[in-house]
């Protein structure tokens, strides 16, 4: 019976905003009886949540060592974007591309039924074709954002100006567009050929064009028009797989760890719909000065806030994540780890009215998880 199971290989990019959705989708597939091989590097796999014990026999974590580069380019132990500053990510892509030889050997040995891959491993298109394995592009980016980027067959670089208004192929009322400064930064990352020799636009186009279908972590209730528009653009099935919220474990309010318990106690003291949640995700690395500027701004707003704060880059001050804006207000909670599996927007009696957030997976998980309540 086990030999007849559908076998799917997952190949996510080495960023936790990508690894986590791929991991959650792997769990969903395993619950449906699909055998999954999840490919990543050892340290990335070790930092994922624990797999439900009932699915151990269906999900295989394939740990492939990340090829090493000169330490000046990519520090030892850096296996994900969160481990390095922005300017080093191009070297992570260079090392990541060298995984293709080990991945190709794995596919040759296993001959899976499907490969579900991210935008970054553009070389999966050739591997899938060589071994006649069907390929699916899993976009962790929203359908609306992919719709702004436009057709994957385009050859010319994308101009920032084209992203500041809804594109012509969005024929329904829409206000989704970039601010000019956002568009400039986005296009720089998308168009420029980096140390890996391949720009992100080419990576996306290669994977998408070689795929039999595109899947989004989305649903028709939220992005129905954009999903349909993107399907017209790419001329192939576009499938929303839902938001993949984290399932609750048996750990309830009374059996969470000390940190989580303190958070709930603090939240219970706040007025309903009063707390500002601040989360900058796993991608953005704040400097010490930026941390203090944000802290001053939060103090000035005079609202209770919950801040998931990562230690600033190049800062050895162990007390920085314990900063207090003003003890007299007793209105802030600053955390260096946010236990999202216990905390979500449905927490009563507090619901969080406003977000201060940016690139990274943390705040998306926080919002998606709350849709099911």
Q: Give the tokens for residue 342.
A: 């216990």
d(CA 63, CA 82): 19
The crossing angle, in degrees rounded to 10, of helices 180-191 and 200-210 is 70
Q: Specify whether the CB–CB gap between 170 and 229 falls below 8 A.
A: yes
Distance CA 209, CA 11 (A): 17
Q: Are 221 and 143 in contact (CB under 8 A)?
A: no
Query: Is 227 within 8 Å of 220 (Cβ atoms)?
Result: yes
Q: Which residue has the tokens 């492939």?
A: 64
> How far is 187 from 208, CA to CA, in rounded Å?
19
Residues acting as catalytic residues? 18, 118
Q: Are 239 and 138 in contact (CB under 8 A)?
A: no
């Amino acid at each position: 019976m086990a030999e007849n199971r559908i076998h799917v290989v997952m190949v996510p990019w080495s960023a936790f905003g990508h690894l986590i959705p791929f991991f959650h989708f792997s769990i969903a597939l395993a619950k449906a009886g699909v055998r999954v091989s999840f490919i990543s590097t050892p340290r990335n796999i070790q930092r994922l949540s624990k797999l439900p014990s009932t699915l151990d026999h269906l999900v295989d974590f394939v740990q492939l060592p990340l090829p090493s580069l000169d330490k000046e380019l990519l520090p030892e132990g850096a296996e994900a974007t969160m481990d390095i500053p922005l300017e080093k990510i191009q070297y992570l892509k260079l090392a990541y591309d060298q995984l293709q030889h080990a991945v190709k050997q794995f596919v040759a040995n296993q001959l899976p039924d499907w490969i579900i891959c991210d935008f970054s491993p553009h070389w999966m298109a050739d591997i899938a074709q060589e071994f006649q394995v069907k390929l699916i592009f899993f976009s962790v980016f929203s359908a609306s954002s992919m719709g702004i980027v436009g057709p994957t067959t385009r050859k010319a670089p994308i101009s920032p100006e084209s992203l500041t208004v809804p594109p012509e192929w969005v024929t329904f009322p829409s206000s989704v567009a970039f601010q000019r400064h956002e568009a400039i930064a986005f296009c720089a990352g998308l168009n420029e050929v980096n140390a890996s020799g391949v720009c992100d636009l080419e990576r996306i186009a290669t994977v998408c064009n070689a795929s039999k279908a595109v899947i989004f972590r989305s649903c028709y209730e939220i992005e129905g028009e954009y999903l349909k528009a993107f399907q017209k653009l790419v001329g192939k099935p576009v499938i929303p797989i839902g938001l993949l919220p984290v399932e609750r474990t048996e750990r309830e309010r009374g059996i969470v760890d000390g940190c989580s318990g303190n958070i709930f106690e603090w939240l219970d003291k706040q007025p309903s719909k009063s707390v500002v949640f601040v989360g900058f995700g796993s991608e953005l690395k704040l400097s010490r000065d930026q941390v203090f500027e944000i802290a001053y701004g939060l103090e000035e707003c005079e609202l209770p806030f919950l801040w998931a704060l990562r230690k600033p880059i190049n800062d050895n001050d162990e007390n920085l994540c314990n900063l207090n804006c003003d003890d007299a207000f007793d209105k802030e909670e600053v955390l260096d780890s946010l236990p999202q599996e216990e905390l979500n927007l449905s927490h009563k009696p507090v619901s969080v009215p406003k977000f201060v957030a940016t690139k990274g997976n943390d705040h998306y998980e926080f919002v998606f998880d709350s849709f099911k309540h």
